[in-house]
């Protein structure tokens, strides 16, 4: 048996110089310090994305896009297909965990200052990936074609319509027409299973590639301490030590997903009826709640301008600031880092508070 | 420019004023107190006024004359106040004239007076009774609106109230010796509920069973025919049952015998059998053939109702536990349909016939119950599977932890 | 800089059984967990026996089984539907739930109309309520005949 394995390895090594790769892999290390645990979040986000791709592909085997078949096909998956309830519920729960993890990863990177030179592009690709994940969540939400998803999409597509100039074209693009119809479903389906995955794949390859290129960033405080005492610098091998620990984390995630799916299976709801009035208290999924609630609280007019439009523009500004953060962290004309920390804390608190508020509000 | 506009308006107004039939009576009578007063507003709502008829159409006289002497002159045909007993013939002078009515509304019937003469009201009127209802008592006088108007006293939603003005007044009805509890009873009935709560204008009111112009109680022998106009199946099945001949022989009023006439409550399974509230007890004694049938039928219905309730409880429980049972729940409506059918088949008063329907329902209820049980089996299976999976994961976590420790121990 | 990790150094004698135990533990766990993930996925891939989604296009009847001037009740999603073939051979399909109080209607060959037994309501062949208590027409459906099979589906939105 050992000979056979060596033969197979030899076969590959002849062609791909595996030993060289192995040597390279052996050299890869991860800095070890009090904040090292935060390094797991990126891999966890990637893992959950992988779960989404896998469960999504399985769902594609039975899902039928189209206003007269979508709901029924999801009902079929939930009731007739063996373990269909499990695949679908894992997909829905993992989607929520993924978005949460993406935000957690972003904020941990922000507070640990990993966006600094030379990692600006890593940060920017990451922010774009976060926006893509939100896009996945939004497009995927409509696919079961139940009352909740229909009206959440209706409200959700009306919001960007407020943006001046491009608002209406954006609405028409998202909806595939004036109203939410079967065309919207087709469009969201195309986005969710083809267009967004293609863009995401490119960005993930870029993002992970850049991380390999630059290695793991070390927070400024630790960096300074290690600069003073080089002997204190600690690294841990990626293979197998860090990987084994990451595997533990991924197994915990799998256990959590299975438990959530089995104990709290995702509901089917009622098939969407465009002619029925919107149910009272309709609200989007939790990760959009803070924006939704903010827009609800903004007064109708601010200094004569439409309040909702200003709110959306404000989100745009926040998004731009997030994207360009590495360039806003500077020494001249003044130390911006403290400001960045402060604003990030405020924003984090605001998001959490608005999410809770949006959840409990009628 | 403005001058021409004003002039044009004035000319139009003048033309309109001339075209409208002049009704000088209202000039004075709109300012008089009761009982001589009729406001312009009231009379404008009157269907006759809207068709262009003036006060003179009923009261006679000359409505074009401004001078009261000329307007209310006997030579112009002025009748003054119309006496109560004169009303039917006055109304009939137009409403029974087909040629005349065709000019206004060709679709209107012209036999109301004829029907009235066959009614109890009409017969007593002919004998000189001044207390019975005449046209205006139900339709109103000066504020008279068409029956389709919801404010009309004879709109379906108002008919019962209109009849009750006399028929619920014990003092007024004393000389006639008939009961005055019909309206009160009707207000508790399922038909009244259909009309007022569900807004179903097709629901029966007094006139549906008693007639309107020819108002007379249908008579004991004919009750079933009246109910059969809507409740077709129940009447057909009743006709095949032993009760039809028995009731006819005993002079019982068909459906009313068990269901009452005015206070028809929503029927329930409690009505059949020999239980406390059962109507069968009114004639049957414990142990006789009919009573035995009744008890069996009650049990059959109760069994089906219980089976459906049990199945529904189980399915709701499964649903709350997160299981998908929407298809089984939809199937439950079929079982409920079977129960509904059974409650109609009751009118055959044959437990054999009833059993056919209840058995069909029980078969469906059995299926839906099984679906509920299956859902709970699946519920348990999922948790067992989860347990196994979590155990395996825990094993891996412990294993990995130990493995890492081993690896890094020096 | 200190790099820690990897290399299992030469194990001490008493470590070997412990090492083996941990390896077996981990191996068993990995195998068991992999099985618990793969088993549902493999079962999922096997298509269920009933391919019918119970959706909007439903096989209502076969042409051969529905005679002229007869009606047939069929399951349409969660509600009953009525398929009628008129004497001249036209097909009409509509919801069979009476708009008055929800009873199931039926086709009356003698009246050539649709009748509700509960309170004597009548509808014409297009579903329009023409007599009795029903306040609204019955929802009409599309009929498609493919070969020997008659399919009914909801009227398509524009």
Query: How far apart are the C-alpha atoms of C120 and B202, rounded to whole Å?
Result: 11
Q: Taking residues B343-368, what's their average pLDDT?
A: 94
pLDDT single digits (tens) B119-167: 999 999 999 999 999 999 999 999 899 999 999 999 999 999 999 999 9
Q: Is A224 exposed, middle or buried (0-12, 13-18, 19+ CB in 10 A)?
A: exposed
Query: How far apart are the C-alpha atoms of B398 and B401, rounded to whole Å?
Result: 5
* CA angle centred on A66, ends A62 and A71, rounded to 5°: 60
Q: With 80 as the cut, is the pLDDT of residue B48 above it?
A: yes
Instruction: Give me the sheet containing A234-237, strands edge to edge.
Output: A29-31, A234-237, C2-4
Write out the two tokens for C3.
């790099």
**Do C62 and C39 belong to one domain?**
no
| pLDDT, position B15 | 57
* CA angle centred on B279, ends B273 and B280, rounded to 5°: 55
List the single range of A100-104, A161-165, B226-230, B337-341 with lowest mean pLDDT.
Answer: A161-165
Superfamily for A31-360? Cytochrome Bc1 Complex; Chain C (1.20.810.10)
At C14, the pLDDT band (50, 70, 90 cuts) reads low
Tell me how many domains chain C contains.
2
Give the strand pairing for C2-4 and A234-237.
parallel
Which member of A68, A83, A230 has the closest CB to residue C56?
Answer: A68
CB of A181 less than 8 A from some CB of C: yes
Domain membership flag for residue C67: yes
Residue pair A139/A196 in contact by the 8 Å Cβ criterion: yes
Query: How far apart are the C-alpha atoms of A254 and A48, rounded to whole Å?
Result: 9
Query: How far apart are the C-alpha atoms of B363 and A203, rounded to whole Å?
Result: 59
DSSP SS3 for C61: strand
Domain membership flag for residue C150: yes
**Do C104 and C36 belong to one domain?**
no
Query: How far apart are the C-alpha atoms of A329 and B290, rounded to whole Å?
Result: 95
Nearest-Cα distance to chain A for C50, in Å, is 8
Which member of B386, B401, B403 has the closest CB to residue A262?
Answer: B386
Which distant-in-sequence residues (6+ apart) come within 8 Å of A290 by Cβ?
A350, A351, A352, A354, A355, A358
**Do C77 and C134 belong to one domain?**
yes
Domain membership flag for residue C3: no
Q: Name which of A266, A274, A96 is nearest A185 in CA terms.
A: A274
Query: How far apart are the C-alpha atoms of A136 and A188, rounded to whole Å?
Result: 9
Q: Taking residues B177-191, what's their average pLDDT?
A: 93
Nearest-Cα distance to chain B for A276, in Å, is 20
Q: With 70 as the cut, is the pLDDT of residue A166 above it?
A: yes
Domain membership flag for residue C126: yes
Chain B residues touching chain A at CB-CB below 8 Å: 322-324, 326-327, 382-383, 385-386, 389-390, 393-394, 396-397, 400-401, 403-404, 407-408
List the single range of A42-56, A199-213, B379-393, C105-119 with lowest mean pLDDT.
Answer: C105-119
User: Could you tell me the CATH number of the domain that includes residue C86?
Assistant: 2.102.10.10
| pLDDT, position C13 | 57
Residue pair C70/C112 in contact by the 8 Å Cβ criterion: no
Interface confidence, given as ipTM, is: 0.86
CB of C158 less than 8 A from some CB of A: no
Q: Name which of B63, B135, B142, B57 is nearest B100 in CA terms.
A: B57
Q: Is B245 exposed, middle or buried (0-12, 13-18, 19+ CB in 10 A)?
A: exposed
Return the biggest CA–CA distance within chain A.
81
**Do C18 and C76 belong to one domain?**
no
At A49, the pLDDT band (50, 70, 90 cuts) reads very high
Write out the two tokens for B330.
């939809």
Chain B CB contacts of C26 below 8 Å: 396, 399-400, 402-403
Sign of the CA dihedral with C132 first, then C138, C144, and C145 last = negative
The DSSP call for residue A242 is I
pLDDT single digits (tens) B238-294: 999 999 999 999 999 989 999 998 999 999 999 999 999 999 999 999 989 999 999
Q: Name which of A344, A327, A341 is nearest A116 in CA terms.
A: A327
At C7, the pLDDT band (50, 70, 90 cuts) reads low
Tell me which chain C residue has its CA closest to the CA of residue A232. C1
**Do C31 and C63 belong to one domain?**
no
B-proximal residues of C, 40-99, CB under 8 Å: 40, 54, 78
Domain membership flag for residue C96: yes
Phi, psi of B399 (to 5 degrees): -60, -45
Domain membership flag for residue C7: no
Q: Is C110 exposed, middle or buried (0-12, 13-18, 19+ CB in 10 A)?
A: exposed
Subunits with at least 3 CB pairs below 8 A relative to chain B?
Answer: A, C
Which member of C1, C4, C43 has the closest CB to residue A82?
Answer: C43
Write out the two tokens for B104.
């206004």
DSSP secondary structure string for all residues of B53-104 = --THHHH-S-TT--SHHHHT-GGGT---SPPGGGHHHHHHHHHT-HHHHHHH
> Residue A320: is the preceding peptide bond cis (ω within 30°)?
no
Nearest-Cα distance to chain B for C76, in Å, is 11
Which member of C4, C45, C157 has the closest CB to residue A236?
Answer: C4
pLDDT single digits (tens) C73-121: 887 866 788 999 998 889 999 999 999 888 889 999 999 999 988 888 9
Phi, psi of C4 (to 5 degrees): -110, 165
Residue pair B224/B238 in contact by the 8 Å Cβ criterion: yes
Tell me which chain B residue has its CA closest to the CA of residue C8. B407
Q: Name which of A23, B403, A262 is nearest C30 in CA terms.
A: B403
Chain C CB contacts of A73 below 8 Å: 53
Phi, psi of B140 (to 5 degrees): 90, 170
Q: List the end-to-end C-alpha distance of chain B, in Å, as a whole number.
A: 111
Q: Name which of C19, C30, A231 is nearest B408 in CA terms.
A: C19
Q: Taking residues A114-121, what's their average pLDDT?
A: 93
Which member of A58, A72, A230 has the closest CB to residue C41?
Answer: A58
Tell me which chain A residue has its CA closest to the CA of residue C29. A251
Q: List the end-to-end C-alpha distance of chain A, in Å, as a whole number.
A: 66
DSSP SS3 for A305: strand
Q: Taking residues A42-50, what's their average pLDDT?
A: 97
B322–A265 C-beta distance less than 8 A: yes
**Do C102 and C138 belong to one domain?**
yes
CB of A253 less than 8 A from some CB of C: no
DSSP secondary structure string for all residues of B310-335 = HHHHHHHHHHHTT---HHHHHHHHHH
DSSP SS3 for B341: helix
Other beta carbons within 10 Å of B227: 22
**Do C102 and C142 belong to one domain?**
yes
| pLDDT, greater one: B198 or A140 | A140
Residue pair B380/B343 in contact by the 8 Å Cβ criterion: no
pLDDT single digits (tens) A215-258: 999 999 998 999 999 888 989 999 889 999 999 999 999 999 99
Which member of B326, B407, B408 has the closest CB to residue A268?
Answer: B326
Chain A CB contacts of C153 below 8 Å: 68
DSSP secondary structure string for all residues of A93-155 = HHHHHHHHHHHHHHHHHHHTTTTSTT-HHHHHHHHHHHHHHHHHHHHHHHTT-BHHHHHHHHH
A-proximal residues of C, 138-157, CB under 8 Å: 153-154, 156-157
B230–C133 C-beta distance less than 8 A: yes
Highest mean pLDDT range out of A92-101, A292-301, A339-348? A92-101
pLDDT single digits (tens) A9-18: 788 888 887 7
| pLDDT, position B138 | 94
Query: How far apart are the C-alpha atoms of A262 and B385, rounded to whole Å?
Result: 9
CB of C78 less than 8 A from some CB of A: no
CB of B202 less than 8 A from some CB of C: yes
C22–B403 C-beta distance less than 8 A: yes
| pLDDT, greater one: A125 or B321 | A125
Q: Partners of C151 in the beta sheet?
A: C59, C144
Tell me which chain B residue has its CA closest to the CA of residue C20. B403
Q: Is B138 exposed, middle or buried (0-12, 13-18, 19+ CB in 10 A)?
A: buried
Residue pair C81/C58 in contact by the 8 Å Cβ criterion: yes
A251–C33 C-beta distance less than 8 A: yes
DSSP SS3 for B290: helix
| pLDDT, position B350 | 92
DSSP SS3 for C81: strand
Write out the two tokens for A311.
């709110």
**Do C91 and C112 belong to one domain?**
yes
Query: How far apart are the C-alpha atoms of B48 and B81, rounded to whole Å?
Result: 18
Query: How far apart are the C-alpha atoms of A296 and C16, rounded to whole Å?
Result: 65
Domain membership flag for residue C53: no
Q: Report how far apart, in Å, the C-alpha atoms of B366 and of each of A152, B29, B359 are.
A: 39, 75, 10
At C158, the pLDDT band (50, 70, 90 cuts) reads very low
Whole-number average pLDDT of chain B: 90
**Do C66 and C119 belong to one domain?**
yes
Tell me which chain A residue has its CA closest to the CA of residue C154. A68
| pLDDT, position A300 | 84
Query: How far apart are the C-alpha atoms of B316 and B319, rounded to whole Å?
Result: 5
Range of the domain at C20: 13-46
Q: Name which of B40, B37, B146, B48 is nearest B93 in CA terms.
A: B48
> Residue A118: is the preceding peptide bond cis (ω within 30°)?
yes
Domain-by-domain residue ranges, chain A?
31-360
List the single range of A138-152, B58-72, B84-98 with lowest mean pLDDT.
Answer: B58-72
CB of C119 less than 8 A from some CB of B: yes
| pLDDT, position C10 | 58
Q: List the end-to-end C-alpha distance of chain C, in Å, as a whole number.
A: 71
Query: How far apart are the C-alpha atoms of B356 and A30, rounded to whole Å?
Result: 78
C40–A80 C-beta distance less than 8 A: no
**Do C24 and C101 belong to one domain?**
no
**Do C76 and C36 belong to one domain?**
no
Chain B CB contacts of A263 below 8 Å: 322, 383, 386
Query: How far apart are the C-alpha atoms of A13 and B230, rounded to whole Å?
Result: 90
Find how far residue A190's CA is from the centre of its chain: 19
| pLDDT, position B17 | 53
Q: Give the mutation candidate from C20, C36, C80, C121 for the B interface (greatest B CB count, under 10 A).
A: C36
Residues above pLDDT 70, as percent of chain A = 98
Which member of A244, A267, A268 has the closest CB to residue B404?
Answer: A244
Residue pair B366/C3 in contact by the 8 Å Cβ criterion: no
CA contacts within 13 A on the Cβ side of A31: 20
Q: Is A142 exposed, middle or buried (0-12, 13-18, 19+ CB in 10 A)?
A: buried
């Amino acid at each position: 048996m050992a000979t056979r394995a060596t033969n197979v390895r030899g076969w590959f090594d002849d062609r791909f110089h595996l030993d060289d790769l192995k040597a390279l892999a052996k050299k890869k290390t991860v800095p070890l310090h009090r904040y090292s645990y935060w390094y797991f979040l990126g891999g966890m986000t990637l893992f959950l994305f992988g779960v989404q791709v896998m469960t999504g592909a399985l769902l594609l085997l039975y899902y039928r896009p189209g206003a007269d078949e979508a709901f029924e096909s999801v009902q079929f998956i939930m009731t007739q297909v063996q373990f269909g309830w499990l695949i679908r519920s894992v997909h829905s729960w993992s989607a929520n965990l993924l978005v949460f993890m993406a935000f957690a990863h972003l904020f941990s990177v922000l507070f640990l200052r990993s966006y600094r030179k030379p990692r600006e592009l890593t940060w920017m690709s990451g922010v774009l990936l976060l926006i893509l994940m939100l896009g996945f969540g939004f497009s995927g939400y409509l696919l079961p074609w139940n009352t909740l998803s229909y009206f959440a999409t209706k409200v959700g597509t009306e919001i960007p319509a407020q943006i001046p100039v491009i608002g209406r074209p954006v609405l028409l693009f998202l909806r595939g027409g004036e109203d939410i119809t079967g065309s919207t479903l087709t469009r969201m389906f195309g986005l969710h299973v083809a267009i967004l995955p293609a863009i995401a794949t490119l960005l993930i390859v870029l993002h992970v590639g850049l991380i390999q290129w630059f290695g793991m960033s070390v927070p400024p405080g630790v960096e300074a301490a290690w600069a003073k005492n080089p002997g204190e610098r600690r690294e841990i091998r990626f293979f197998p030590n860090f990987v084994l620990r990451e595997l533990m984390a991924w197994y915990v995630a799998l256990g959590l997903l299975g438990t959530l799916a089995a104990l709290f299976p995702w509901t089917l709801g009622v098939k969407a009826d465009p002619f029925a009035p919107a149910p009272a208290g309709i609200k989007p999924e939790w990760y959009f709640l803070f924006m939704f609630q903010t827009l609800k609280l903004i007064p109708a007019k601010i200094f004569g301008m439409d309040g909702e439009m200003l709110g959306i523009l404000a989100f745009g500004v926040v998004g731009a600031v997030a994207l360009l953060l590495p360039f806003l962290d500077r020494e001249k004309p003044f130390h911006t880092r403290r400001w960045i920390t402060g604003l990030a804390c405020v924003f984090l608190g605001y998001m959490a508070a608005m999410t809770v508020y949006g959840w409990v509000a009628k | 420019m403005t001058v021409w506009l004003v002039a044009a308006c004035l000319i139009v107004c003048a033309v309109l004023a001339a075209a409208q039939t002049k009704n000088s009576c209202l000039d004075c009578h709109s300012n008089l107190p009761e009982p001589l007063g009729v406001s312009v507003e009231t009379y404008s709502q009157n269907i006759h006024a809207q068709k262009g008829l003036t006060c003179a159409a009923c009261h006679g006289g000359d409505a074009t004359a401004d001078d009261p002497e000329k307007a209310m002159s006997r030579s112009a045909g002025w009748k003054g106040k119309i006496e109560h007993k004169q009303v039917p013939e006055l109304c009939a002078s137009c409403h029974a004239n087909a040629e005349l009515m065709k000019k206004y509304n060709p679709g209107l019937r012209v036999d109301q007076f004829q029907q009235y003469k066959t009614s109890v009201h009409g017969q007593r009127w002919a004998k000189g009774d001044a207390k019975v209802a005449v046209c205006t008592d139900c339709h109103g006088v000066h504020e008279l609106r068409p029956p389709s108007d919801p404010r009309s006293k004879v709109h379906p939603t108002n008919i019962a109230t209109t009849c009750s003005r006399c028929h619920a007044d014990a003092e007024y009805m004393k000389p006639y010796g008939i009961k005055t509890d019909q309206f009160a009873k009707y207000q508790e009935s399922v038909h009244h509920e259909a009309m007022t709560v569900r807004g179903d204008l097709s629901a029966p009111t007094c006139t549906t069973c008693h007639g309107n112009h020819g108002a007379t109680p249908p008579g004991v022998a004919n009750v079933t025919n009246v109910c059969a106009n809507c409740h077709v199946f129940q009447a057909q099945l009743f006709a095949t049952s032993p009760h039809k001949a028995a009731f006819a022989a005993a002079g019982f009023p068909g459906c009313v015998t068990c269901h009452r006439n005015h206070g028809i409550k929503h029927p329930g399974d409690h009505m059949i059998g020999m239980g406390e509230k059962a109507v069968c007890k009114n004639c049957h004694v414990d142990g006789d053939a009919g009573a035995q049938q009744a008890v069996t039928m009650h049990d059959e219905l109760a069994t089906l109702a219980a089976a459906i309730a049990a199945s529904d409880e189980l399915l709701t429980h499964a649903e709350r536990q997160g299981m998908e049972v929407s298809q089984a729940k939809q199937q439950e409506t079929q079982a409920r349909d079977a129960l509904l059918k059974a409650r109609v088949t009751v009118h055959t008063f044959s437990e054999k016939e009833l059993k056919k329907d209840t058995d069909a329902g029980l078969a469906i209820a059995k299926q839906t119950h099984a679906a509920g049980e299956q859902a709970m089996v699946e519920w348990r299976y999922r948790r067992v599977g989860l347990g196994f999976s979590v155990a395996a994961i825990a094993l891996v976590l412990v294993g990995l932890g130990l493995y890492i420790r081993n690896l890094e121990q020096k | 800089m200190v790099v820690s990790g990897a290399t299992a150094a030469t194990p001490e004698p008493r470590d070997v059984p412990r090492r083996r135990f941990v390896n077996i533990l981990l191996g068993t766990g990995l195998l068991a967990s992999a099985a618990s993930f793969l088993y549902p996925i493999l079962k999922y891939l096997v298509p269920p026996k009933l391919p019918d989604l119970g959706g909007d296009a439903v096989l209502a009847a076969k042409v051969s089984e529905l005679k002229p001037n007869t009606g047939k009740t069929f399951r349409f999603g969660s509600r009953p539907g009525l398929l009628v073939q008129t004497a001249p051979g036209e097909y009409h399909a509509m919801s069979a739930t009476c708009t008055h109080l929800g009873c199931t209607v039926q086709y009356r060959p003698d009246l050539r109309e649709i009748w509700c037994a509960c309170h004597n309501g009548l509808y014409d062949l297009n579903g329009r309520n023409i007599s009795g208590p029903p306040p609204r027409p019955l929802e009409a459906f599309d009929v498609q005949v493919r070969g020997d099979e008659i399919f009914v589906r909801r009227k398509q939105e524009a």
